[in-house]
Chains A and B, each alone.
Chain A
């Protein structure tokens, strides 16, 4: 079991460039999430997918798009990167409550620097 994996681990972009952050989970979880973490701001939810085929906006969706490719994979795309998107991005997954899978599992993060 790899849990939640993310690629890449690090990325440097120039303003205006695009990129896709990849996330995959092997725990058969229904729900997947993308967060960003900035100093002093805690975790902020960007987008989530409660189940395969559905996606919803979180707290800070502007400038991002997502795709739930299948049950395992949930990607985050930056169409035109801006310096304000410099952050650490975390993907997470969770089973469907009520169950013993109510806890959330996080990937190792992607560090993104936009110049």
Chain B
């Protein structure tokens, strides 16, 4: 069963706006990862945040992790049309496969 659940399922914004998507999970984790999938392509890793970290930045990406609420958020600032994609969170609980959520479809309108 899927542990990570992204919210919202779909998001449509104007170019230049910020996009925020959330991920909730059920069990304890070692780290949480965010991936991006362009239409028709494989997933590409974006950023990893460990369970003892609260916030991490990479370029226009900001990820937060709240282990007490078992939730994470991904913020994309100053979005571009090229950010249009599906975004997935994945939880890593140790020596088991990553568990992926169903994803958030982001549309950035130019």
- Give the total of A residues in contact with B, Cβ under 8 Å: 26
**Chain B residue nearest to A42 in the complex (CB):** B102
Do A106 and B31 touch (CB < 8 A)?
no
Residues of A within 8 A of B94 (CB): 97
Do B48 and A102 touch (CB < 8 A)?
yes
Do B43 and A59 touch (CB < 8 A)?
no
Do B42 and A106 touch (CB < 8 A)?
yes
B88 at the interface (CB under 8 A from A): yes
Residues of B within 8 A of A43 (CB): 43, 88, 100
A11 at the interface (CB under 8 A from B): no
Bound CA–CA A11/B103 (angstroms)? 26
Do B42 and A40 touch (CB < 8 A)?
no
- Report A's interface with B, CB cutoff 8 A: 4, 31, 33, 35, 40-45, 48, 50, 58-59, 90, 92, 94, 97, 102-109
